[in-house]
Amino acid sequence: MSSWDGVLRGGRVIDPESGLDAIRDVAVAQGRIAAIGRGLPPAPAEVDVAGLVVTAGFVDLHSHVNDVAGLRLQALDGVTTALELEAGMTPVAAAYRHAAAEGRPVNYGFATSWALARMHAVAGIRPRGTLGTFLASIGDPAWQRRARPAEVAALLSALADDLADGALGIGILVGYAPAVSPAEYLQVATLAAAAGGPTFTHARDLIEMVPGTVIDGAEEIVRAAGQTGAHMHYCHVNSTSQRHIERVLALVSRAQAAGARVTTEAYPYGYAMTGIGAAFLAPERLAERGLVPSSLTYAPTGERVSGTERLRELRRTDPGGLAMIELLDENEPSDRALLMRSLTFPGSVVASDAMPLTWTAPPPDPVGWPLPKTAVTHPRTAGTFARAVRLLARGEGRLGLPEALRKCSLGPAQLLQDRVPAMRRKGRLQSACDADVVVFDPAGITDRASYADSTRPSAGIRHVLVNGTFVVRNGELVHEALPGRAVRAEPR
Ligand SMILES: [Zn+2]
- CA-CA distances (angstroms) from residue 98 to 46, 134, 283, 352, 369? 35, 17, 37, 22, 21
What's the CA gap between 158 and 402, in Å, rounded? Answer: 41
Helix axes 245-257, 217-228, angle to 10 degrees: 10
What is the phi/psi pair of residue 115, to 5°?
A: -65, -45
What's the CA gap between 62 and 213, in Å, rounded? Answer: 26
3-state DSSP assignment of residue 399: coil
What is residue 398's predicted lDDT score, i.e. its pLDDT?
Answer: 86
What is residue 9's predicted lDDT score, i.e. its pLDDT?
Answer: 98
Q: What is the mean pLDDT of residues 470-489?
A: 98
What's the CA gap between 147 and 68, in Å, rounded? Answer: 37
The rounded Å distance from CA 114 to ligand 1 centre is 13
Q: Are strands 349-350 and 358-359 parallel, antiparallel or unpaired?
A: unpaired
Residue 318 pLDDT greater than 90, yes or no: yes
- Number of helices and strands (H, E) in the chain? 14, 24
What is residue 262's predicted lDDT score, i.e. its pLDDT?
Answer: 98
What is residue 453's predicted lDDT score, i.e. its pLDDT?
Answer: 96
3-state DSSP assignment of residue 182: helix
Chain-wide mean pLDDT for the chain?
97
Q: What is the mean pLDDT of residues 349-366?
A: 92
The rounded Å distance from CA 172 to ligand 1 centre is 9
- CA-CA distances (angstroms) from residue 38 to 306, 434, 435? 61, 20, 18
The rounded Å distance from CA 206 to ligand 1 centre is 14
Q: Is the dihedral of CA 89, 93, 98, 99 positive or negative?
A: positive
The rounded Å distance from CA 236 to ligand 1 centre is 7
The rounded Å distance from CA 234 to ligand 1 centre is 10
What's the CA gap between 260 and 295, in Å, rounded? Answer: 37
% of the chain beyond a pLDDT of 90: 95
User: Each residue of 114-150: b (16+ CB within 10 Å) or e?
Assistant: bbbbbbbbbbebebebbbebbbbbbbeeebbeebeee
Residue 475 pLDDT greater than 90, yes or no: yes
Q: Is the dihedral of CA 222, 226, 228, 233 positive or negative?
A: positive
The rounded Å distance from CA 328 to ligand 1 centre is 16
The rounded Å distance from CA 388 to ligand 1 centre is 19
The rounded Å distance from CA 93 to ligand 1 centre is 23
The rounded Å distance from CA 274 to ligand 1 centre is 8
What is residue 363's predicted lDDT score, i.e. its pLDDT?
Answer: 81
Q: Is the Cβ–Cβ distance between 49 and 11 less than 8 Å?
A: yes
Q: Where would I find the beta strands (DSSP E) of 360-433?
A: 375-376
- pTM for the model: 0.98
Instruction: Return the amino acid letter for 349.
Output: V
The rounded Å distance from CA 175 to ligand 1 centre is 8
The rounded Å distance from CA 396 to ligand 1 centre is 26
% of the chain beyond a pLDDT of 70: 100
The rounded Å distance from CA 19 to ligand 1 centre is 33
Describe the strand order of the beta sheet including 303-304 as a list of residue ranges. Answer: 271-275, 322-326, 296-298, 303-304
What is residue 353's predicted lDDT score, i.e. its pLDDT?
Answer: 98
- CA-CA distances (angstroms) from residue 464 to 37, 68, 81, 404, 470? 20, 16, 11, 18, 6
What is residue 274's predicted lDDT score, i.e. its pLDDT?
Answer: 98
Q: Where would I find the beta strands (DSSP E) of 51-110?
A: 53-56, 58-60, 79-84, 107-110
The rounded Å distance from CA 336 to ligand 1 centre is 20
Q: What is the mean pLDDT of residues 356-375?
A: 89
The rounded Å distance from CA 86 to ligand 1 centre is 7
Residue 490 pLDDT greater than 90, yes or no: no
Q: Where would I find the beta strands (DSSP E) of 3-125?
A: 6-15, 20-29, 32-37, 45-48, 53-56, 58-60, 79-84, 107-110, 112-113
The rounded Å distance from CA 202 to ligand 1 centre is 5
Residue 5 pLDDT greater than 90, yes or no: yes
The rounded Å distance from CA 482 to ligand 1 centre is 27
The rounded Å distance from CA 131 to ligand 1 centre is 13
What is residue 130's predicted lDDT score, i.e. its pLDDT?
Answer: 85
What's the CA gap between 339 and 142, in Å, rounded? Answer: 35
The rounded Å distance from CA 290 to ligand 1 centre is 18
- CA-CA distances (angstroms) from residue 91 to 30, 158, 321? 32, 8, 23
Instruction: Return the amino acid letter for 263.
Output: T
Residue 173 pLDDT greater than 70, yes or no: yes
What is residue 118's predicted lDDT score, i.e. its pLDDT?
Answer: 98
Q: Is the Cβ–Cβ distance between 87 and 440 less than 8 Å?
A: no
State the CB neighbour count (10 A cutoff) for residue 309: 11
Instruction: Return the amino acid letter for 384.
Output: T
What is residue 2's predicted lDDT score, i.e. its pLDDT?
Answer: 82
The rounded Å distance from CA 492 to ligand 1 centre is 28
pLDDT in tens, 236-275: 999 999 999 999 999 999 999 999 999 999 999 999 999 9
Taking CA 405 as the corner, what is the angle to CA 54 and CA 269, rounded to the nearest 5 degrees?
Answer: 125
The rounded Å distance from CA 237 to ligand 1 centre is 9
Q: Provide the pLDDT confidence category of residue 492 given band limits of 50, 70 and 90.
A: low
The rounded Å distance from CA 178 to ligand 1 centre is 13
pLDDT in tens, 194-230: 999 999 999 999 999 999 999 999 999 999 999 999 9
The rounded Å distance from CA 117 to ligand 1 centre is 17
Q: Which of 180, 123, 185 is nearest to 159 (CA)?
A: 185
The residues pairing with 446 across neighbouring beta strands, listed in sequence order, are 459
3-state DSSP assignment of residue 27: strand
The rounded Å distance from CA 276 to ligand 1 centre is 13
What's the CA gap between 84 and 62, in Å, rounded? Answer: 5
The rounded Å distance from CA 217 to ligand 1 centre is 13
The rounded Å distance from CA 140 to ligand 1 centre is 17
The rounded Å distance from CA 453 to ligand 1 centre is 22
The rounded Å distance from CA 62 to ligand 1 centre is 9
Q: Is the Cβ–Cβ distance between 28 and 417 less than 8 Å?
A: no
Q: Which helix (H) or strand (E) holds 169?
A: none
pLDDT in tens, 78-94: 999 999 999 999 999 99
State the CB neighbour count (10 A cutoff) for residue 179: 12
The rounded Å distance from CA 176 to ligand 1 centre is 9
